[in-house]
Structure 1
């Protein structure tokens, strides 16, 4: 990564040019359509298993495991592959592969050839390709932007994904209800084809990365070393790990408490989750404007404090009685705002702080560790809820979420005036 020269006017001048970039616009378009399809499938796939195939709870759990396993098993080798290859062809290949695999689902249903085992194999393969796409996308984005455009670019991508989360799941329900789950899965498949076509329109020159003579194990280990020795990445890693563990505890406690103790209907629970998505959209869309007025580190710290502390208000659901539903709507909306801002800002710091030639491996190490906290939190949440009560699990998770901000408070991130200060040229390992 070339040294970044900061001037008083450069960020504004670059920002002016940013949205004239065809490369970013096509990347943005591809991300939007594939995100929409993914959210449609998020609802359609389990419904297809339950309704069309009459899957048992155990089979449904197996299907969910098949979706999740690639993020644990494939992340490290794919991170190495991304650092050794051009990223745009990898992304196009991942999209085309997902189009073929997901299209097999409705075709097999229509030909009466499908089974839960087939679904598991297909979604596992599609999950591996999703890991490939996401890892390559993380590394490719800085190719079509400058360091000063990254925050704005990530904010727009995050806002788009939040909007697709809201619209895609709503559309998925309508498609399943009106046209059946296989048709909804066909829509998901087509979304990946459209994304591949969009990415093919990007005209950018990518240099073939120089391959190291070191063993793959040593190259993978380098990603872990950078994550741990870089003060910015280490703080984000600790915060994300804490957040993921406690978020799972909070979510499991909330779902059980809302449905069983507060008797909130499934539609009501859905409305609360949509409020979170709406807040995330608002935060991601307007977050970059805040950094134009205040320092990067301060905006990130305040956003984290807002989003990570808001769930504590869920402890008031008992005292407010019949207003519990409205309180939870507000909690999730405010939480979403904080998450929308902080996610885009944190991703930008990770992209800038990681050396360009190591970005894939650094991202792989980061994701493996932070995503590893999800099953830990899920098991912990279930145990707390069963032993100490649903409300206790929800509030305990909320309390843990509030502590995630401390990783950033006591790190150099809070003093960042601009994200460029986190670049490797200005950071010692």
Structure 2
């Protein structure tokens, strides 16, 4: 429950801040790109340090503190909005701090399952956790869009803070004993280098890093243009934008269920390549959208549903492979290294999206960014990852 509510707060905030900037503060393409880059910068700046730290502490403690911090920051943002101080500089600061605390939560969350379940339970466990995150993806964007459109940014921020408070209280109640790896006293830089060497020395994890980097860079550019394209080119309200993005959630629920079945039937490698190809390729349809909401909204719902299903199938499968080939004492650093390499370029991708939308227009920019996403399945198809069979590697 705690992880689900925390994800709900995170996905609500991810929609609230950009929509508030575009619809209320009239932010341009470049400003929106900077806002998204500021929120993603902590991934690049902090991931490796957080991974080295998480391997030495209880993941429950890290997640609880991250939730408490995000609740305080969003509560302060709600207060700033009430007194009229919620301008772009404050929104940038909120985005950065929430992004930094989310790095702590996400790295600890990825390392926690291996400490709590047996190896053969990784796929079912990841499917269950990712399924709960999918539920958050359903409600978060829709709720965020509605809050900004119908109420106000302070109310939206207060709702986000409330979600993190509930998550804080829920995760604190986890009673199962967590097996924490034995501490070895080494300098933080040495522990970070050990994580980097481990990931670089494993063929499957190397490809995961490269494919993730290609996807996340292009997807960050896509989402920056997308959040301009929907309200300005297609003339959709914040509520409808939120509902369209929320279609990713039901798709992700389907992807979580399929992730528990398809890899064992068709092979992990084949599922990874085809799911990534379908999920990434569906965005190529977006630049051709024209017409009234009666035409465009159903298409957007289908596109986001397919993307959610394929993307979640890839996420669960990749996470299970990573957890299976990584020893317990390296889980946090491996997750952080992959996050650092895979998502470290997202701030640049967001800036590129703002540049493409401002220079070439939203339709052309969206097409170029969407085409870049196809590099990810291409890298997996040409790698040893594509040859993984029906059982998890050792």
TM-score normalised by the shorter chain: which range applies?
A: 0.7 to 0.9
Structure 1 CA distance for aligned equivalents of residues 168 and 277 of structure 2: 38
Aligned residue in 2 for 1:87: 59
Once the 2 structures are TM-superposed, how far is the Cα of residue 247 of structure 1 from its aligned partner?
2.1
Aligned residue in 2 for 1:411: 383
Please give the TM-score of this superposition, normalised by the length of structure 1: 0.77
Aligned residue in 2 for 1:360: 332
Q: Does 1:99 align with 2:74?
A: no
| Contact 1:86-1:209 at 8 Å conserved across structures | no
Once the 2 structures are TM-superposed, how far is the Cα of residue 351 of structure 1 from its aligned partner?
2.1
| Contact 1:91-1:133 at 8 Å conserved across structures | yes
The count of corresponding residues between Structure 1 and Structure 2 is 390
Identify the match of residue 118 of structure 2 among 127, 136, 146.
Answer: 146
Matches within 5 A, 1:51-66: 64=36, 66=38
Once the 2 structures are TM-superposed, how far is the Cα of residue 301 of structure 1 from its aligned partner?
2.4
| Contact 1:148-1:420 at 8 Å conserved across structures | no
Structure 1: which 5+ runs fail to align? 1-28, 424-429
CA deviations on 1:141-160 (whole Å, 9 max, x unpaired) are 11222222222222222232
Once the 2 structures are TM-superposed, how far is the Cα of residue 253 of structure 1 from its aligned partner?
5.0
Identify the match of residue 154 of structure 2 among 147, 165, 182.
Answer: 182
| Contact 2:146-2:238 at 8 Å conserved across structures | no
Once the 2 structures are TM-superposed, how far is the Cα of residue 398 of structure 1 from its aligned partner?
2.9
CA deviations on 1:222-251 (whole Å, 9 max, x unpaired) are 212222221111111111111122223444
Structure 2 CA distance for aligned equivalents of residues 357 and 132 of structure 1: 17
Q: Does 1:238 align with 2:214?
A: no
Once the 2 structures are TM-superposed, how far is the Cα of residue 266 of structure 1 from its aligned partner?
5.8
Identify the match of residue 103 of structure 2 among 122, 131, 136.
Answer: 131
Structure 1 CA distance for aligned equivalents of residues 316 and 337 of structure 2: 19
Q: Which moved more, 1:197-206 or 1:220-229?
A: 197-206
* 3-state DSSP of counterpart to 1:417: coil
Identify the match of residue 194 of structure 1 among 166, 184, 187.
Answer: 166
Once the 2 structures are TM-superposed, how far is the Cα of residue 368 of structure 1 from its aligned partner?
1.5
Structure 2 CA distance for aligned equivalents of residues 342 and 403 of structure 1: 15
Aligned residue in 1 for 2:49: 77
Q: Does 1:306 align with 2:244?
A: no
Q: Greater relative contact order (Cα 8 A, min sep 6): structure 1 or 2?
A: 2
* 3-state DSSP of counterpart to 1:148: helix
Identify the match of residue 67 of structure 1 among 39, 49, 68.
Answer: 39
| Contact 1:246-1:398 at 8 Å conserved across structures | yes
Aligned residue in 2 for 1:375: 347
**Residues 349 and 192 of structure 1: is their aligned pair in 2 closer, same or farther, counting only changes over 3 Å?**
same
Q: Which moved more, 1:66-75 or 1:354-363?
A: 66-75
Aligned residue in 2 for 1:166: 138
CA deviations on 1:335-363 (whole Å, 9 max, x unpaired) are 22211211111122222222221222222
Structure 2 CA distance for aligned equivalents of residues 253 and 126 of structure 1: 22
Structure 2 CA distance for aligned equivalents of residues 361 and 267 of structure 1: 39
Structure 2: which 5+ runs fail to align? none
Aligned residue in 2 for 1:20: none
Aligned residue in 1 for 2:184: 212
**Residues 326 and 86 of structure 1: is their aligned pair in 2 closer, same or farther, counting only changes over 3 Å?**
closer
| Contact 1:352-1:419 at 8 Å conserved across structures | no
Structure 2 CA distance for aligned equivalents of residues 185 and 394 of structure 1: 29
Once the 2 structures are TM-superposed, how far is the Cα of residue 30 of structure 1 from its aligned partner?
0.6
| Contact 2:229-2:363 at 8 Å conserved across structures | yes
Matches within 5 A, 1:323-342: 326-342=298-314
Please give the TM-score of this superposition, normalised by the length of structure 2: 0.83
* 3-state DSSP of counterpart to 2:208: helix
| Contact 1:253-1:390 at 8 Å conserved across structures | yes
